[in-house]
Every structure is written in C-alpha cells, then in structure tokens.
C-alpha cells in the first residue's frame, strides 16, 4: 500500500491519493491493534522476553550495543583542548566593527522596533517545552506556562534592548556540547558541536527578522 501511494503521488491524482492515504491509515491502525494483542498474549503466556522485545520495538528503544564510543582520555588537558578549539573565535576583536555598526544605527533617535506585549505572549505560548535551557537557565517550560505573567517584563526588556541597541550578554552566549561523529574520536574534527543558546534570544531574533522582512517588502 505504501508503494501504491508513492506511485499515485507521482501521477498527481489528488483525489485518488487521499483515498489511498485513508486506506493506508486504516491498515496501520489495524496492524497496530493486532501487534498490541500479540504483545498482550505474551503477558498471559508469561513470555517476558518477548514482552520486553515487543515494548522496545514499539517505543523505538535500542541499547546501542553495536556502538562502542572510544573517547580520548578525559583529563584536564583534554577539556582545555576542547574549550580552546571551540572558543577560537573569542580571540578575534570585533570592537571596531561593532562600534561602526552602532554609530550607523544611532542616527535615528526613534527605536527601530517596538514590540507589543501580545506578540511576546504569543511567542512564549508557542515555545516547545521539551527544549533544553541555554546558558541563561531560563526553562522553555516555565516561559510557556507562565507566558501571561512574564510577557510584560520581557516586553520591557525587548523594547529597551531595541532602543539602546544592546542585548544582555547572557543571551549572546551558548553552551557547546561536542558529540562524536563516529565510534572512535581521534581528533577534534571527529566531534560535532551542538550549541545550546538562549530561548529568549531566539525569540528576540525572530522579532528582528520579521521586522526586516517587512521593511524589505516595502
């Protein structure tokens, strides 16, 4: 049925594609129910090995026994080497460029962007609560759950940042977590950096990008 759906998708027949998708959904639900009854039968037969195998299959859980991560010796020197490798750009001096950009933007006495509290509340309500917090330790779950109470103060902070052209330093920081690309790590290039940034900073960037798109459209 999946192959049939792919074939119909290539023909461009939308009505037939919808009908095929409905039949496929019914078949998937039917097979899920059949497999559920199969696992329940393992319970009644006290076949616990098959029970756990079925639960792991349904949940997508794998122990990863086929992988053996071989990291270099975790020591102070290795940690310093990782920090130096991923923070190499911190040694560059951008002060002249920042000063030039700031002087260009301060010619206009009015703030280039003003955000309403409703927009901040709307963006907070859209946050994925399962995301990890950044260096500012602001939990996405707290921002979403308490969006009604926190929207006011963050609206003030956003507008103050836009008027003074200054973003809180903690929002511009990120926590880099090196993830191995392969089972054996022999050099720094074998590590993939994953950066955790502030959720509030992402929302701030979203406001700026939306404003720039409107200006470009005009």
Give 169-209 as a DSSP string.
Answer: GGGG-EEEEEEESSSB--SGGGEEEEEEE-HHHHHHHHHHH
d(CA 134, CA 25): 39
**Is residue 161 over pLDDT 70?**
yes
| pLDDT number for residue 62 | 58
Percent of the chain with pLDDT over 70: 81
What's residue 135's pLDDT?
87
pLDDT higher at 214 or 18 = 18
218 vs 207: CA distance, rounded Å:
17
Confidence of residue 196 (pLDDT cuts 50, 70, 90): confident
Higher pLDDT, 135 or 71: 135
pLDDT, residue 72, reads: 56
> Residue 74 — pLDDT band, cuts 50, 70, 90?
low
Give me the pLDDT at residue 79, please.
75
Beta bridge partners of 195: 176
In residues, how long is the chain? 218
State the pLDDT confidence band at 153, using cuts at 50, 70 and 90.
very high
Provide the pLDDT confidence category of residue 68 given band limits of 50, 70 and 90.
Answer: very low
Model confidence at 143, pLDDT cuts 50, 70, 90, reads: very high
Closest CA to 134 of 203, 201, 200, 197: 197
pLDDT over 70 at 85, yes or no:
yes
Q: Nearest 5°: CA angle at 67, between 61 and 68?
A: 130
């Amino acid at each position: 049925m999946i192959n049939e759906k792919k074939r119909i998708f290539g023909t461009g027949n939308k009505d037939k594609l919808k009908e095929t998708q409905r039949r496929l959904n019914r078949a998937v639900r039917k097979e899920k129910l059949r497999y559920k009854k199969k696992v329940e039968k393992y319970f009644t037969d006290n076949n616990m090995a098959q029970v756990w195998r079925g639960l792991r299959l349904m949940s997508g859980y794998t122990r990863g026994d086929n992988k053996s991560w071989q990291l270099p010796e975790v020591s102070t020197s290795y940690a310093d080497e990782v920090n130096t490798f991923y923070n190499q750009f911190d040694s560059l001096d951008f002060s002249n460029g920042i000063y030039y950009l700031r002087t260009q933007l301060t010619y206009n006495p009015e703030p280039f962007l003003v955000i309403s509290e409703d927009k901040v509340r709307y963006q907070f309500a859209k946050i994925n609560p399962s995301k990890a917090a950044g260096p500012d330790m602001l939990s996405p779950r707290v921002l979403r759950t308490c969006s009604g109470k926190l929207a006011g103060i963050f609206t003030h902070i956003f507008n103050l940042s836009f008027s003074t052209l200054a973003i809180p330093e903690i929002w511009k920081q990120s926590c880099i977590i090196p993830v191995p690309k392969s089972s054996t790590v022999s050099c720094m290039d074998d590590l993939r950096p994953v950066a955790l940034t502030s959720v509030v900073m992402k929302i701030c960037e979203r406001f700026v990008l939306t404003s720039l798109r409107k200006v470009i459209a005009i």
